[in-house]
Every structure is written in C-alpha cells, then in structure tokens.
Structure 1
Amino acid sequence: MSDKQLIRGTMILTASIFISKMLGLIYIFPFKAIVGLDGLALYQYGYTPYTVLLSLSTLGIPLAVSKFVSKYNALGDYHTGQRLFRSGLVVMSITGFIAFISLFFLADPIARQVLDTSSLEGNTIEDAVFTIRMVSVALLIVPIMSLIRGYFQGFQSMGPTAVSQVIEQIIRIIFILVLTFLIIEVWQGELGTAVGFATFGAFVGALGGMGVLLYYWVKRKGHIAQQVEASTVDHQIPLSKMYKELITYALPISLVGLSIPLYQTVDLFSFNNAMRSIGYDQDIIDMFFGAFQQAAHKVILIPVSVATAMSLTILPTITNAFINRDEERLQRQITQTYQIILFLCVPASLGLVLLSDSTYATLFGLSDMDIGAPMLKYYAPVAILFSIFAVTASLLQGINRQKFAVIALVAGITFKVIFNYPFIVWFDAWGAVLATGIGYSIAVCVNIWAIGKYADFNYTFLLKRLLLICIYAIFMAIVVVLVRTGVGSILPLENRLNATIILFSSVMSGLGIYMYLSVRSGLAGKILGHRFSFLSKRGKGVREKEQGK
C-alpha cells in the first residue's frame, strides 16, 4: 500500500473518531436539559463500570488485530489473518457474554457501594441497578464489532470502521434524546426509567454499527476470499502462539485507553462516600457528581478532542521515521505534535477558567450554576494534561516504548486511589479534581521523561515555544476579562441569552487577539501552517530560529 493511501486511510479514520467524539460531547447539552444533573450522575453510575468492562473484554482488539492481520498480509499469508478472525469471533462472543453476565449481576453491589441506602432523596438503588443492567446488554455485541473493525483495518480498509463509528453514534444519540424526552416530558415517566433507557442506547447504536459492518462484509467477502485462496504462504501458527502475539500488541493499548475510565471508576467508588462523610445528602452529592463526571468533563473534552485529533494524524509519520532511523524527521514531528497540543489547549483551558460561569450557563442553564460553574472552572486546566497524556502515550507507542505509558498510567492511578478520598474530605468536591490533576501530572512527567530518553528529544526549544504561547494566552486573558466585565455590566448574567452574548463576545475577542498575535509573529504558521496554508505566511514580528518548523 502506498504512503498516500495510508495517509488517506489514517485521515479518514481520524475524521470519523473526531466526528464521533464531538457528537458524543454535544448531545450532553440537550440531554442534561431533559434529565438534570442528578440524571447525568445516574447515567454515569451505569456507564463507568460498563466502559471499564468493555475495555477489559476487548483488550485493545481493534488496533491489535489490525496490526496482526496487516503484518501477515504483508508477508503474503492471508490464511493466518483469516484463522485469527474466525477464532476471534468466538473469543469475543465469549468474553462479551462473560462481561455482560458480570456487569448484570454486579449491578446491585455496585449500586449499594455508590449510593446511600438509607437516603430518601436523590437517585435510588433500584434506579442505579436498572441503569447498569440496561447498559450491560451492549457488551454482547460491541466486542464482536470491535474485532470486525480491526480485521478490515488490517486490510488497510478504514472506511468500514469510520462509517460504522459515525452511524453507531448518531443512532445512539437519537435514541437517547428522543426516548428520554418522550418518557419524561410526554409520558411523565420516572427519571430512573428515562436514564436506564438512555444507557440502553449503547446497545441500539451498536446494532446500527454492526449493520454497517455486515453490509461491508457482504460487499467485500468475495474479494477477501480470493486473496486467501491466492495466498501461497501459510505459517501454520498455533492459536496459542497467535493469541500470545496478539496480547503483546493489545495489552499496552488497552491499558492506556483505560486511563480516563479508570480515574472515573476511582471517583465512582470514593466520591459519594467521601462527600457523605463530610455531611452532604445524596441528592446534593448526585448533583456534584453529575457536574463533575458528565457536564464539566464533557466540556473540557472539546478542546482535548480537537487538539488530539489534529496531532495524532502525525503519528504514522513518527512511526515511519523511527523505523527508518530518520532522526531529524523524528525530532521535527515530535516537536510539531507537542506544539499543536499546547497551542490549542493552553488558551482553550485558560478561556474556560475565565468564562466558566457564562459557558456553563449557556450550555446547561442557570438552575444549578452554583455547582456546575465552579466545577468547570477547577476542572478546565486538567484538559491540558488529558491531551498531553493521550499524545505522549501514542508517541511512546510510535517509538516502541509503550511499556512506559503503562508505567505512567499505573503511577498516576495509584496516586488517585490513595488520595482521592482524603482530598475530597479536605477540599470538598474539588478535591476529586485535584487528585485527578496530580495523578495525570505524574503520568505525563513519566511519559515526557521516556520520550526525552528513548527518542533523544531535547525539550529546550519546546519550552521557549511554550513560553511564547503562554505570553499570548495572557494577552488573550486580559482581553477576555475586559470584554466579559464590560458586556456583563450591561447584560447581567441573569438568563441564558445574556450568558450566550457574554460568552460569544468574550470568546471572539479573546480568539481574535490570540490569533492576531500568533499569525503576526509567525507562530501560527510554524505550528499549523502545514494544515492551513494561509497561516504559513511569515509574520512581520518575531523571526526566531526554526528548530520546530
């Protein structure tokens, strides 16, 4: 396969991941308007254990199968990939069924561990059990779907994965929003019933995604069969050895992909208990948890998704440069990847800190802004750490040092496990954000160190770029504060329309000054010019030595 086709396939897959993530972020705004913060909390009570068990049941299978099949196809051995696929369907069916049974019967113990059994307010044990059991059904089909996607990717065919991901997300979101609206607003049903069916949307969406994959399979199975029949090589690898190789690929990918769900699992089992220990009632705890794990979390993932989607497209080039020992290109691409993350995430996170009240009011309304806005304000800086960890973990995979990403994850999550409860007791609900931030900081430091050591990467130039980005972000912050104060004095933050006007005017002003300084100095062109040609024009200001260009 040509480099041009590989890049095209990577871009298609990256675009689909970005679209799916953005859809998954945006739908939370109308969903929250229907079910409220306590509904978001109940949704998260079910979705967090589901996400962990899904990751464990698939074990990074899509990427691992893709790598395995691609390797043996390149050797002319199409038989081995097909044997893996056939046996893998059986294995994924079994692991998916085991995960489903486990989550279904663990629903009651999980709910009792999370919620206050004596409380008459807030979400009930029965609601949480129903929600967890409804989402558990998706485990019967999603692992199988993951295997099929990985098999197609092994043939360098990214279209089936891309289309199925987007269709799956669209169907899931439509199902969630329509059914929850009907249950609560039309049929006057219970919140627990609505949220339970919302989590069942994971299964409905998976059916849609599976339908797309089956369509592609029927369409292409003849061509695949011809390739297998024409194959003259068959390594006759025993299944045990085959799966040992597969797990070698899959385990680091799976563990790193579990980073956010693992942190959320720690919060699931400690947040409510810690909050109860300092005197909060269950209904208020639900609101804090919903604001933390759903509302604020979804908002901060917006800049994370944009930054990582743009930077991760560089990773195939990094892998290629590492394999071919092209040291100069490797250093240049690592620098570029870091710069994209910092250039986008630093001002976005700072902006969310300064505009947390108007952002929350615009997206979620003013009814619970006293809880949601401060949570967003404290949580926003963690977006930078999320982005850097995701990209540095991928960089380590690109230079075949993924074990350090696993070490980093373990170190960070260990800190979170030990200090989450006491931090909440000492610092209230914001302690959970602090524990997550410090945990991710530890993980990021390990990754940065490993890249410096094993890719022989020098951070001196990057620190200079970071300083320049921070200076421009400070100028942006001054403008944002001035505009926000001025507009707020005319239009007080008393309704959603005023909040939207404050947010829009502040964001446009801040973005305008940040981009003006970045383009004028040439910084934007050096960082993003390879994507947006109009930014490549040299600025009339700073003309620094271009180590990172």
Structure 2
Amino acid sequence: MAETNLMRGTKILTVATLASKILGFIYVVPFSALVGQTGLGLYSYGYTPYTILLSLATLGFPLAVSKFVSKYQSLGDYETGYRLFKSGLLVMSITGLLAFLLLFFMAPVLTPYILPDEQAGVNSYEDIIFTIRMVSVALLIVPIMGMIRGYFQGCQSMMPTAVSQVIEQIVRIAFILSAAFLIMNVQDGDIGLAVGFATFGAFVGGLAGLAVLLYFLFKNRTNMLGLATTNASSKPLPLKSMYKELIWYAIPLSIVGLAIPLFQLIDTLTINGALAKIGMGDISENYVGVLTQSAHKIVLIPMALATALSVTLVPTITNAYTSNDSVRLQKLITQTFQLILFITLPAAVGLAVLANPIFVALFGLEDLAIGGETLRYYGPITLFFSLFSVTAAILQGINRQLLAITALLVGLVLKLALNNLLLLQLGPNGAILATYIGFSAAIAITIWGIGKHTSFSYQLIIKRAGLMLLFALIMATSVWIIDTGLRITLPLDNRLNSFILSGIGAGSGAVVYAYLAYRSRMAEVVLGARFKRPD
C-alpha cells in the first residue's frame, strides 16, 4: 500500500511539474505581445542571474533533504529528519537573505557587462538595474519554500509540492500579465517599468506557493511532531554529521542543475558586446530576448516531457547499482536512453523544419527574421539538453557525481572560450554553435563515464538511435513537402495561417513518425507491449 501511495504521489508530482512548465511557456506568448522581444531580453537580464543565485542559495538542499529524510524514515528514525528540517529552514533563511543582498547590490556592477554600451541599447542601465533588483526579492522566500517541499517529498507526501507548484505558477503568471498590461496599456507604456514589475511576480508567486505549503504544514503538524517524538534514534545524529552527509549529496545536484542557466548567463554577458563590435548592435537585445526566452521556452517543452517520463527510472538505477544487479542496471540504462531519444529526436528535427510557422504562431511576424532563424538552429538543442540531464542523473545515481561536475565544467569552459569568438565570426548564430559544442563535450564525458563505470555497451543504443534518426528524417521530409505545398494557398503572412501550418505540420509529422515506429516495432521496444504490432 505504501508503495502504491508513493507511485501515485510521484505521478501527481510529475503531472504538476509538467503543468507548471507548460504554463511557464504559455505566458511568454501574451507577455511578448505586450513588451516585445526587447522586453523579453530585459526580462532575461534579471531572471538569468536570479536563477543562478537561487541555485547557489539552496545548494541543492531541497532535493538532498528529501533523500535524507526518506532514508532515515525508512530506518524508523523520524526525529533525525525532523531536526534537519527545522535547522534547514534557518539555513535557507540565511542563505536566501545573503543571496538577495548580493544580487540587489551587485545589480549596478553586472549591468555594464550585460550591456557594454548603454547608448547602443534600447534598454537603459536604470531599467536593467531595476529589473534585477525587483526579481532579487524572491530570494528571501523561495529557498524556504524549497526546503519545505523537500521535507514533504522525503515523507513521501507529494501533494503539497504538486499543489504549491501549480498555484505558485498561476499566481506568478497572473501577476506578470496583469502588471505588464496595466503599465503598457493603462499607464505610460514604459517597457522598463513593465518588465521590472513582471519579474517581481517571482516573489508574489512565491508567497502564494509558500502559503499553500504552510497550510499543509500546519494541517499535518500534529502527526509530524508525534512521529518525530515517538520514533527517535537511541543515538541521535549530530547536526554536523547530518550536514556533512547532506552537503556531499547536495552540492553536485546544485552544480549540475545550473548547466542551462550558466550557459544562458554566458550568452547574456557576451552577446550585446560582441554584436555591437560587428555592427549588429541594433538587433542584439531582440536577439537576446529570442534566444534566452522565446526560442528557449519552446525547446524546453519536449525536454520537460522526456525527463518527466524518465525520472522514475533514475532512482531505480541507483537501487540496481547499489545491489550489484548488473543485468537490471544494463536494462534500465538502455530503457532510459531509448526513451529520451525516441521523444526528443523527432521533436528536435520537427522544431527545425517548422521553425518559421511555429515562431509566427506564437510571437507574430514582427521578429520573424531573427526568431525563425534562431529557432531553426536552436530547436535541436532540446536533444542535447535532455541527454545531458539524464546522463548526469545516471552518473549521480551510480555515485559518480564528480564526473558529472567535471563534464559540466568542460562544457562551460568551451562555451566561455568560444562564445565571443564565434559571435564575432558568425554573428548571432555563433552563440548557438558554442552551446552545441559545449554540451557535446559534456555529453561525451558523461556517456564515457557511464560506459566505464557500469560496463555499459552502446552498440544496441547506437543501432536504435540510427533507426530513430532515419524515421525522424523521413518525417522531416514529409513535413517539409506538406508545409511547402500548403504555403501556396496559406502564405506565412498572418498568425492564423501560421497556426494552421504549424498544426498540420506537427500533426502529419507525428503520424508519420508513429507509423514508422509502430511498423518497425520500435514503439513496442521503447514504450512497451501495449504498442505491440499484431503479427
């Protein structure tokens, strides 16, 4: 019964996480209509450093606490986890305050690096500083919220986290859109003010999420206190020992989780200056908005689906590794790779083929020249994001956290070394190429590490990946032919046509890919017997 409840809770949390991510993508469409790609660029100037400071403030503690609490409760020691939770709330309060102060007062220092020449940009230094400072306030409460979520998850209670995630996102989005609409359409229409208040939505949404968690906390406080009091260890674990164990697990999680934000930070700090040097400063801020917000939000959708579907496999991999069940471990790693490739390969190819109609459908014609081309080249990065996320998680599952960190550092060094150079040589697409190179190197290391430390053979994966790629290319050719034919009567000159083109293109592509996967029995191999083809 306990296992059934845990699986039900995990499914609820997975659905809530997906819903939260989808909501986080959808709001960008009306928000961009209000503030434009320049406004989205300004939004990213504040949100990218905020995301990094948030990760540093939490240090991966929420997830580590969930593992820690789960471990000791499985041993019948509820008191140790509860003591860690109480002290963790104080620690997260302190680190959140320090992160807030650091980001708030560092805003004027960061701004000249983000926009080297204020006169060449649409956004002013004052706008950027205001935006960074408004979003920094969220650091006061979000780490605390993460700690409470981690404790509930450790107690195998997923509902509080699920509900708070969705409520937090809904309130945040409602505030963002309301504030932007009122300032842009009722007040004087100042983009800097609108975006600044929009980033403050992180704090408002955080308050709503925290309120939900406190409700669940007070609702269950009697049971939690009772269990902690009556189920205590005869030899209480000192806080020093607790945090030593916690930090060893948490810091690698935190660093690896920073992969995408750190790559984005490099783009944020280098794109404007590099493009200004080659005479493209007039489009640089629009490009930052497209790359770090519009196109980026689109590519995260298939990645979120892939990682959500595979997330239940990773703890199982840990169990198989620690119990020395090599046959089961090989099977699980194979299943994980197949699942990720099966979902993200066609999505990556599809985004490249349908980049123009998708961008126009979501963000309009105004920035198609930049947005369509960016999405065409950036869309396939969803495959790289997914592969790194899953392979790094597998390495952590087999206690090779340091190798995952090493892979990320190598990728970041390459990105940092090449970004400015490639921007100067290739223009805007140079930043995208540098991201591909950085993630390719990181993935190569993680894949090598998995093979070395689990004796995993990639022969079968390579064979099946090649077949999936072939199906994706056939799908892409079909979609391109259909899209080209439809444009004779549905030219890409309005959003209605682009919605039709995107819908028919994506639908026909899905049908072609599904048919090929079904006929070849690939769907049965990856997704199970329910997709078995009759003989």
CA deviation string 1:169-222 (max 9, x = no partner): 111111111211111022233000100011000000000110011000111010
| Distance in 2 separating the partners of 1:243 and 1:287 | 44
The residue that corresponds to 1:336 in the other structure is: 335
Q: Which amino acid counterpart does residue 271 of structure 2 have in structure 1?
A: F
The answer (yes or no) to whether the contact 2:13–2:161 under 8 Å persists in 1 is yes
| Distance in 1 separating the partners of 2:275 and 2:329 | 47
* Matching of residue 190 in structure 1 with residue 190 in structure 2: yes
The residue that corresponds to 2:54 in the other structure is: 54
| Distance in 2 separating the partners of 1:67 and 1:511 | 38
Deviation at 1:362, TM superposition (A): 0.8
The residue that corresponds to 1:16 in the other structure is: 16
Q: 1:376-455 counterparts in 2 under 5 A?
A: 376-455=375-454
Using the aligned pairs only, state the percent identity: 52
Q: Give the unaligned 5+ runs of structure 2.
A: none
Deviation at 1:228, TM superposition (A): 1.4
| Distance in 2 separating the partners of 1:239 and 1:321 | 30
CA deviation string 1:468-523 (max 9, x = no partner): 11111121112111101100111111111111222222222221111111112221
* Matching of residue 520 in structure 1 with residue 524 in structure 2: no
Moved more, 427-436 or 265-274: 265-274
Alpha-carbon distance change, 305 to 191 in structure 1, aligned in 2, over 3 angstroms: same
| Distance in 2 separating the partners of 1:360 and 1:211 | 37
SS of aligned partner of 2:369:
helix
| Distance in 1 separating the partners of 2:363 and 2:303 | 20
Q: Which amino acid counterpart does residue 354 of structure 1 have in structure 2?
A: V
| Distance in 2 separating the partners of 1:235 and 1:441 | 48
Q: Which amino acid counterpart does residue 262 of structure 1 have in structure 2?
A: L
* Matching of residue 345 in structure 1 with residue 344 in structure 2: yes
The residue that corresponds to 2:107 in the other structure is: 107
CA deviation string 1:56-85 (max 9, x = no partner): 000001111111122222222222222212
Deviation at 1:6, TM superposition (A): 3.1
The residue that corresponds to 2:221 in the other structure is: 221
Q: 1:52-131 counterparts in 2 under 5 A?
A: 52-119=52-119, 121-131=121-131
The answer (yes or no) to whether the contact 2:14–2:308 under 8 Å persists in 1 is yes
The residue that corresponds to 2:287 in the other structure is: 288
Q: 1:115-194 counterparts in 2 under 5 A?
A: 115-119=115-119, 121-194=121-194
The answer (yes or no) to whether the contact 1:79–1:234 under 8 Å persists in 2 is no
| Distance in 1 separating the partners of 2:315 and 2:450 | 16
Equivalent residue for 2:533, pick from 523, 533, 538? 538
Q: Which amino acid counterpart does residue 173 of structure 1 have in structure 2?
A: I
Q: Which amino acid counterpart does residue 72 of structure 2 have in structure 1?
A: Y
Q: Which amino acid counterpart does residue 344 of structure 1 have in structure 2?
A: I
Moved more, 117-126 or 129-138: 117-126
Q: Which amino acid counterpart does residue 184 of structure 2 have in structure 1?
A: I
Q: Which amino acid counterpart does residue 374 of structure 1 have in structure 2?
A: E
The answer (yes or no) to whether the contact 1:122–1:284 under 8 Å persists in 2 is no
* Matching of residue 38 in structure 1 with residue 38 in structure 2: yes
Deviation at 1:117, TM superposition (A): 4.1
Count how many residue pairs are aligned between Structure 1 and Structure 2: 535
Alpha-carbon distance change, 75 to 37 in structure 1, aligned in 2, over 3 angstroms: same
The residue that corresponds to 2:269 in the other structure is: 269
Alpha-carbon distance change, 539 to 468 in structure 1, aligned in 2, over 3 angstroms: farther
| Distance in 1 separating the partners of 2:437 and 2:253 | 23
Alpha-carbon distance change, 449 to 539 in structure 1, aligned in 2, over 3 angstroms: farther
Deviation at 1:35, TM superposition (A): 0.8
| Distance in 1 separating the partners of 2:48 and 2:534 | 47
Q: Which amino acid counterpart does residue 446 of structure 1 have in structure 2?
A: I
Moved more, 473-482 or 427-436: 473-482
CA deviation string 1:251-270 (max 9, x = no partner): 11000110011111111211
Moved more, 33-42 or 17-26: 17-26
SS of aligned partner of 2:200:
helix
The answer (yes or no) to whether the contact 2:118–2:125 under 8 Å persists in 1 is no
| Distance in 1 separating the partners of 2:455 and 2:384 | 22
Normalising to structure 2: TM-score of the pair? 0.97
CA deviation string 1:93-134 (max 9, x = no partner): 111011001100011111122114441650110000110000
Deviation at 1:232, TM superposition (A): 4.2
The answer (yes or no) to whether the contact 1:396–1:447 under 8 Å persists in 2 is yes
SS of aligned partner of 2:119:
coil
Q: Which amino acid counterpart does residue 263 of structure 1 have in structure 2?
A: F
CA deviation string 1:241-296 (max 9, x = no partner): 22111100101100011001111111121111111121223x42110111111111
SS of aligned partner of 2:172:
helix
Alpha-carbon distance change, 528 to 98 in structure 1, aligned in 2, over 3 angstroms: same
The residue that corresponds to 1:545 in the other structure is: none
SS of aligned partner of 1:422:
helix
The residue that corresponds to 1:365 in the other structure is: 364
SS of aligned partner of 1:119:
helix
SS of aligned partner of 2:156:
coil
Deviation at 1:226, TM superposition (A): 0.9
The residue that corresponds to 1:495 in the other structure is: 494
SS of aligned partner of 1:489:
coil
| Distance in 1 separating the partners of 2:295 and 2:171 | 24
Moved more, 202-211 or 180-189: 180-189
Alpha-carbon distance change, 58 to 481 in structure 1, aligned in 2, over 3 angstroms: same
The answer (yes or no) to whether the contact 2:277–2:424 under 8 Å persists in 1 is yes
SS of aligned partner of 1:211:
helix
Q: Which amino acid counterpart does residue 31 of structure 2 have in structure 1?
A: F
| Distance in 2 separating the partners of 1:262 and 1:179 | 28
RMSD: 1.4
| Distance in 2 separating the partners of 1:302 and 1:286 | 24
The answer (yes or no) to whether the contact 2:471–2:513 under 8 Å persists in 1 is yes
The answer (yes or no) to whether the contact 2:171–2:205 under 8 Å persists in 1 is yes
Q: Which amino acid counterpart does residue 124 of structure 1 have in structure 2?
A: S
| Distance in 2 separating the partners of 1:93 and 1:353 | 44
| Distance in 1 separating the partners of 2:493 and 2:470 | 33
Q: Which amino acid counterpart does residue 362 of structure 1 have in structure 2?
A: A
The residue that corresponds to 1:543 in the other structure is: none
The answer (yes or no) to whether the contact 1:96–1:141 under 8 Å persists in 2 is yes
| Distance in 1 separating the partners of 2:118 and 2:200 | 28
Q: Which amino acid counterpart does residue 405 of structure 2 have in structure 1?
A: V
Normalising to structure 1: TM-score of the pair? 0.95
Q: Which amino acid counterpart does residue 201 of structure 1 have in structure 2?
A: G
SS of aligned partner of 2:457:
coil
Q: Give the unaligned 5+ runs of structure 1.
A: 541-549
The residue that corresponds to 1:312 in the other structure is: 311
